[in-house]
Structure 1
């Protein structure tokens, strides 16, 4: 079985399990919810980009607040536990702490890049609007309503 065939089967199984079209992720609204955009097209806006960046920061903050408790690893130290168990628990605690910090830092870095992308998007959008107005003023001509 090819990868494409297997992937199509997995997608069909997931779509069959979804309770409603409103719950579908990674899809544009099927009714063309954004004015002027056809259904199924990708729509980005500065507000959406900034909102998602803020959401990533909130997730990072919640993860930081729920960080692993250092006291949990002290419960398995000698003399409460065997020295080998204590060493392995300490090794795992250091590894888990490192992975945890990496995840929080990754989310914060992604949020920063997304904020930068939102700023760039707004700049490009502004430049496009300015260019349109400049072209309209430079090459446009006034037609009186009676002459239309």
Structure 2
């Protein structure tokens, strides 16, 4: 069996195992979350900030588990053939580059998510202030006995 055929088989098996109800933040897929129309995304400042903190934690854990520089020295000459040594060094440099790119990407995503959380809180605060101002301007007090 070729790699492409085996890969397609694995993808089909993974898709068959997925639940159609699984969604972001465990919200129902049919839009039946309270107060949300179908197809909308419900977000909160706590969720946004929590996810940004999670990305930073993942980046920190990856940084702590970074590849060991001494592990590649075991495959250097004279312990290994010169061609093997060159390929191990090439792979180690590539892996280190990919590793640093991944950590940078996670940190950048966390920064953007924190900025989005701040903007969300600002908009949410503005909406609450607007609602309160409208209530104070156009609302009228009715005594409990008069209801």
**TM-score, L = length of structure 2:** 0.78
What is the correspondence of 1:96-135 to structure 2 with a 5 Å cutoff? 96-135=95-134
Shift of 1:35: 5.1
Alpha-carbon distance in 1 for matches of 2:20, 2:74: 47
Cross-structure match for 2:17:
17
SS in 2 for 1:75: helix
Cross-structure match for 1:55:
54
Alpha-carbon distance in 1 for matches of 2:104, 2:23: 25
Cross-structure match for 2:94:
95
Alpha-carbon distance in 2 for matches of 1:47, 1:19: 26
**Residue ranges of structure 1 left out of the alignment (5+ in a row):** 1-9
Cross-structure match for 2:6:
none
The Cα offsets for residues 65-95 of structure 1, whole Å up to 9 and x where unpaired, read as: 1111111110111111121211111111011
Alpha-carbon distance in 2 for matches of 1:32, 1:79: 64
SS in 2 for 1:74: helix
CA RMSD of aligned residues (A): 2.7
Instruction: Give the number of aligned pairs.
Output: 135
The Cα offsets for residues 38-59 of structure 1, whole Å up to 9 and x where unpaired, read as: 6774210000001101110111
**TM-score, L = length of structure 1:** 0.77
Alpha-carbon distance in 2 for matches of 1:72, 1:52: 33
SS in 1 for 2:96: helix
Cross-structure match for 2:80:
81
Cross-structure match for 2:4:
none
